Chains A and B, each alone.
Chain A
Amino acid sequence: MFGFLLRRFAVLIPTFIGVSIIAFSFIRLLPGDPVALLSGERVMSPERHAQISQQLGMDRPLVVQYFDYLGGVMTGDFGSSIVSKTPILDQFMALFPATVELSLCAIILAIVIGIPAGVIAAIKRGSFFDQSLMGIALVGYSMPIFWWGLLLIILFSGILQWTPVSGRISLLFYFPPVTGFMLIDSLLSGQKGAFTSALSHLALPSIVLATIPLAVIARQTRSAMLEVLSEDYVRTARAKGLSPFRVVGIHALRNAMIPVITTIGLQIGVMLAGAILTETIFSWPGIGKWMVDSVFRRDYPVIQGGLLLIAAIIMFVNLIVDLLYGLINPRIRH
């Protein structure tokens, strides 16, 4: 186990450096000059352009800039935003909990609904439930998030007025962030109604962000279950007279979970991508929206730093997924 972890960490280092090179060089390949963008339609003179480039250290050779940057990252200094002039790590730490809170809720929703739905569909293969479920999953998977989010807002917030339109909590509540997780902070604040408000604000964005992973998980669970249910040991278990619940819930499901867990792990990356759109629609102050704004402003340090931090998180999640395999399938022991 320890050896496995060590090997995995050894692989993480070159991956991380690779990501940093890609993040650093690719954004510079994009057309668009961040210094020129500072003045928009108002043209900046070449002298001022040179002066500001120098102040930002952008006049140096790219290799020098890269190593300087990497050196900073090693010491935890991700630089400062060209636009807001505030340190990237501070911004990330302020915004990241919002994305985590949303993504966690969404993935929990996707798992809690997706796995049972997939299992039932597999057991009742070919039934009306199975066919309609797979139909819905296909629609969910193909749904453009932007449109879906707006549709839900118009229905639930506009017409039915069940949920708030956007934001993380009603504006009546104001307390300084402690953990950055609104559900926890609202409880800590002790203000009456704050938690309910935070929860109601979380509902629609969670549903929207969960839609695609939910569809993928349900489909994956169904196909994995179908495969496992036709295995000999399942037939044996049935022949032994075990209850259908034990056969499906314990014997079959555990083995069917292996590919499903891989899928869930991969969905974390998909989620962070989906969060970009979901956060934009629901004015959710997370890192997705922050990254998009930075791309438009060509705020290189933010894009670089954001990409690196996100990559690190995805690598970490994958590591956890690998460790989980061992727990679920005794044949895989690290």
Chain B
Amino acid sequence: MKHKFAIAAALLSATFFASGASAKTFVYCSEGSPEGFDPGLYTAGTTFDASAHPIYSRLLEFEPGTTKPVAGLAESWTVSEDGTEYTFKLRPGVKFHTTEFFTPSRELNADDVVFSIDRQINAENPWNQYVAGASWEYAAGMGFPELIKSIEKVDDMTVKFVLNRPEAPFLANLAMPFASIMSKEYADKLQADGTMEQLNQMPLGTGPFSFIAYQQDAVIRYAKNADYWGGAPKIDDLVFAITTDAAVRYQKLKAGECHLMPYPNAADVETMRSDDTLTVMEQEGLNVAYLAYNTTQAPFDKVEVRKALNKAINKEAIVDAVFQGMATPAKNPIPPTMWSYNDAVEEDAYDLDAAKKMLQDAGVENLSMKVWAMPVSRPYMLNARRAAEIIQDDFAKIGVTVEIVSYEWAEYLDRSKAKDRDGAVMLGWTGDNGDPDNFLDTLLGCNAVGGNNRAQWCNEEFDALVKKAKVTSDQAERTKLYEEAQVVFKREAPWATVDHSLSIVPMRKEVSGFVQSPLGDFTFENVDIAE
């Protein structure tokens, strides 16, 4: 197989890049086509892996392998005492890519930063609707339009963000893909040429790889950015071979047609582990699957009933049946890899007798309920119906009859939000920025009732804790608040937390330097291929 790649690399370099016989081409069998190349417009990880990560950089970056925001295009920053003013000093000498379609005449400056964020939150910006229906989903989801009062260019290399209120996760938000920094000079040129939509098709940034070409649904090609501010990548060319079927991706990996693949079938992982040409990396994903009761509807408004049902769910059985062990049972609403995870919280252990008794004590008899199972496979829950059947089986043993219901995906998401919804909804979440706020307030805060808070649960004690943590900038203090919030959550049991799935990454043995991201990103600036 080594031969195959050596020949590939040699040919590629001889034919196109003319960079000598030792060019290294890294092939990634990606799981789907990017929706476009402007990360601000989209929310899918597949799109970010092809756009934000290789092509762009952000003011802050997540330190590889962690969710800690560290200096990126901003070399340093200061936060005002009241937590509403963030001043960023930009890294000098950062070059934008020179490509076949654009040659930049200047380096990164404050105009680029103002442009990149302002277009997403300011309806007056000519770039706000440069493609029809641009919804800037993430900027909106992270509350940027309401949060950011102004973005000011202090001088060429200094930018100041003024916020309407203190917001502790703000720095982490700026490290997210949607906050990628684009070239204003390039945008101006496209605007002058009347080809603004090209910003989403021919991307140009300051990231480790520059964009070469995209053949729709087939291949994306990138070349290394030798001037990358974080140090030039070790590989010369990066190729995404779009391969939607997991079984086919595995065959390609085995045949040496690609170096690394995401999202293997759970059933293939054991065979992959025993293949001595492959390395299999694994890490707990930054996600949670849960069953949200409707805490406003009887009898689920009673804590004892929710607790009793939680004790009747055999999470181990679900993890085994659905994930073949590639997940861990969840006891908290945030995953163990996230800071402030409270391991001291005690799990409602699986105990059918106790559950039955608790239900009797609560005066609930002959309960029949609906359990909603998602119609699609998600990273945090591969087969919701199977999980629902296991729950159905267990609940029957404590005298609770379960009817499993499902709807088409968009319909499911919409109907499950209804405050008067009948039944417990299975759903989950994958973290966006590694901040506990992104789970605890987003999914369980009072202001998310009728929206992301599918349990319709508004607990004053919990809400006060997470709201306080949101405006506290001291990390130790925040950790304490979130730990406490998890205790309240467990005591009140608005959800049955089901599992945190593992993220499995198989790759060829000759690959080195790949770091698994807890956020589930696939980035290749540090990878290398052994000769």
Q: Which residues of A contact B (CB under 8 A)?
A: 30-34, 36-45, 48, 52, 55-56, 80, 82-86, 91, 94-95, 150, 153-154, 157-158, 161, 164-168, 170-174, 176-177, 191, 280-283, 285-286, 289-290, 293, 298
Q: Which residues of B contact A285 (CB under 8 A)?
A: 215-218, 242
Q: Which residue of A lies closest to B34 (CB)?
A: A84
Does the CB pair A31–B248 fall under 8 Å? no
Q: Which of A38, A153, A173, A177 contacts B135, CB < 8 Å? A: A38
Cβ contact within 8 Å between A39 and B41? no
Q: Does B254 lie within 8 Å of A158, measured CB to CB?
A: yes
Known contacts: A43-B417, A157-B251, A283-B218. The answer to whether A32 contacts B409 by CB under 8 A is yes
**For the side of the interface on B, what is the size category?**
35 or more
Contacting residue for B197 out of A34, A41, A85, A165, CB 8 A: A85
* B411: interface (CB < 8 Å): yes
Bound Cα distance A82, B410 (Å) = 15
- Complex contact B244–A289 (CB within 8 A): yes
Contact check: which of A31, A157, A165 meets B410 at CB < 8 Å?
A31
B514 at the interface (CB under 8 A from A): no
Q: Which residues of B contact A (CB under 8 A)?
A: 7-8, 11-12, 15-16, 25, 27, 32-33, 35-36, 41, 43-44, 129, 131-135, 137, 140-141, 197, 200-201, 213, 215-219, 221, 239, 241-245, 247-248, 251-252, 254-255, 257, 407-411, 413-414, 417, 427-430, 448, 451-452
What DSSP secondary structure best describes chain B's contact surface?
mixed
Question: What residues of A have a CB within 8 angstroms of the CB of B137 in the complex?
Answer: 38-39, 42, 44
Q: Which of these, B8, B15, B32, B410, contacts A33 with CB under 8 Å?
A: B410
Whether B427 contacts A41 by the Cβ 8 Å rule is: yes
Additional 20 contacts, C-beta under 8 A, given A55-B129, A281-B248: A41-B428, A43-B448, A43-B452, A55-B133, A80-B132, A84-B200, A85-B134, A86-B36, A86-B200, A150-B247, A166-B251, A171-B8, A171-B241, A172-B8, A173-B15, A174-B16, A174-B213, A283-B242, A290-B216, A290-B217
CB–CB A39/B43 < 8 A: yes
Q: Is the Cβ of B255 less than 8 Å from the Cβ of A165?
A: yes
Residues of A contacting B201 in the complex (Cβ-Cβ under 8 angstroms): 86
Whether A171 lies near B129 (C-beta < 8 A) is: no
CB distance from A158 to the nearest CB of B (A): 5
**Which of B140, B247, B248 counts the most chain A CB atoms within 10 A?**
B248
On whether the beta carbons of B217 and A172 are closer than 8 Å, the reply is no
Contacts of A40 on B, CB cut-off 8 Å?
43-44, 413
| CB atoms of A157 and B255 under 8 A apart | yes
In the assembled complex, which residues on chain A have CB atoms less than 8 Å from the CB atom of B140?
Answer: 44-45, 48
From residue A22, how far is it (CB to closest CB) to chain B in Å? 20
Residue among B248, B409, B428 making CB contact with A150, cutoff 8 Å: B248
Which partner residue on chain B sits nearest A286 by CB separation?
B217
Residues from chain B with a CB closer than 8 A to the CB of A52 are 133, 135
Min C-beta distance of A193 to chain B, whole Å: 8
Residues of B within 8 A of A174 (CB): 12, 15-16, 213, 221
Contact among A43, A45, A167 with B241 in the assembled complex (CB-CB below 8 Å): A167
Contact A170 B133 (CB under 8 A): no
CB contacts (< 8 Å) of B213 on chain A: these are 174, 176
Q: Note all chain B residues with C-beta closer than 8 A to A286.
A: 217
Contact residues in B for A165 (Cβ distance below 8 Å): 248, 251-252, 255, 257
Q: Are A41 and B239 in contact (CB under 8 A)?
A: no
In the complex, are the beta carbons of A158 and B216 less than 8 A apart? Answer: no
A323: min CB distance to chain B, Å: 34
- Which chain A positions have C-beta within 8 A of B200? 84-86
In the complex, the answer to whether B255 meets A158 with C-beta atoms within 8 Å is yes
- The interface residues of chain B lying within 8 Å CB-to-CB of A298 are 410
A153-B248, A164-B255, A282-B248 known; A171 vs B413 contact (CB < 8 Å)? no
Question: Which B residue sits closest to A150, measured CB to CB?
Answer: B247
Q: How far is the CB of B214 from chain A (nearest CB, A)?
A: 10
Contact B132 A36 (CB under 8 A): no
